[in-house]
Amino acid sequence: MHQNRLFALSVGLATALALSIFVGPAAQAQKLNVLHNFTGSADGSVPDAGLTMDVAGNLYGTTHYGSPYSCGTVFKLGHKGSGWIFTPLYSFAGGSDGCSPYARVTIGPDGSLYGTTTGTYGTVFNLKSPAHPPRAILDPWSETVLYRFTGGHDGSGPFGDLVFDQEGTLYGTTYLGGANGQGAAYELVPSDGGWTESVLYSFTGGNDGKWPLGGVIFDRSGNLYGTAHLGGEQGFGTVFELTPSETGWTEKVLYHFEGRSDGANPRGALIFDQSGNLYGTASAGGSYGCGTVFELISSPGGWTYNTLHIFNCDDGESPTSSLVLDVAGNLYGTTAYGGLSGCFGNCGVVFELTPNPNGLWTYTLLHEFTGSDGALPLGNVIFDANGNLYSTAAYGGRYPCDNGCGVVWEITP
């Protein structure tokens, strides 16, 4: 239903059940707290991407826009007593430093922040804190652009998160560009004080997929896994694996979405469980056209696809982010739309899926956004050590940008 407008929104910003599923009630014990209402000034607006947490429990994120006519920000929310302090770390000027971050930032091996911007063809950047204690809380961090995409064979539009390997090499995807203009997977290797970009794989737009929006993740053997939004045998997207060899990287499609009860058009990244099974979301398809949560079960003979939940729009619509898995094996995520809040177009939900001994999964609606507490939660959720959930909603909140400037939120059990 809303999937097409959601993808159109994403691209515009970049350039400027199963029948055997049990459905549980909303979890009344859950409480959502808004930690920060974006104002659209120095703190930014439209926090699309969710959050990253450091070992001290501080939160880091990005906004797609900044103050009027600016190009977005990187921010920090740090603990102070029982509250939080919001600190803008960097505001993009839209010149050589890049414009419009869409993905989360990643904390590198050196403790600094790495991320991407999507404006023009996009950049990969690094942010470091001041060498000396800042003179004021608003002193910006220093930004270094590690790579500027040209929009050609090297890629264009890095929407997904970055990931490091053990040697300190960065990996990511671009949703356009590459040798065929349908997206690419790339690496950035540190060398001689700089970084060298290489394309690992260029998508053709055929059976291999096109438009990889969600980034990639590693398995224990050094293979990369991700999703392509479109393409594949039926045109509804793929789950793929990239395997390294001495002669380069080889792509293998693990699953072709059919656009039926299995889902269609995955946008988010994948996650692994301890057994090596993959989990993800499809932003459309399913029995109601509202998306699905799926699992790919690893076995010596290949991968088996299993639909864990089919959204019916009232319980959520258009899951676009990656999932998170707790120690008990429960899955958590967000949908961009859906719910019964009465919000125009519905404002999205936070959900939990709990495995049962019989192999089925129970769906629990943790929170429905109303607009005043946020709307359009596009980003992933993360846990702290106490089991609290954190993320962002791109719109809504207290301050009136076009549709609200967005919020950072917390759910406490």
- How does pLDDT run across 93-146, given as a tens digit for each residue? 998 999 999 999 999 999 999 999 999 999 999 999 887 665 555 567 899 999
Q: Is the dihedral of CA 136, 141, 142, 143 positive or negative?
A: negative
Percent of the residues in the chain that have a pLDDT greater than 90, as a whole number: 79
For the sheet containing 163-164, what is the strand order?
163-164, 170-174, 184-191, 194-202
Which amino acid appears at position 385 of this protein? Answer: A
Both tokens assigned to 271 = 């996650």
- For each of the domains in the chain, give its residue range(s) and CATH number, in order of start: 3-412 (2.120.10.30)
DSSP E strands, 155-275: 163-164, 170-174, 184-191, 194-202, 216-218, 224-228, 238-245, 248-256, 271-272
Which amino acid belongs to residue 344?
A: F
pLDDT in tens, 188-234: 999 888 999 999 999 999 999 999 999 999 999 999 999 999 999 99
Q: What is the pLDDT of residue 99?
A: 95
pLDDT value of residue 23: 36
Which pTM value belongs to this model?
0.90
- Widest Cα–Cα separation across the chain: 60
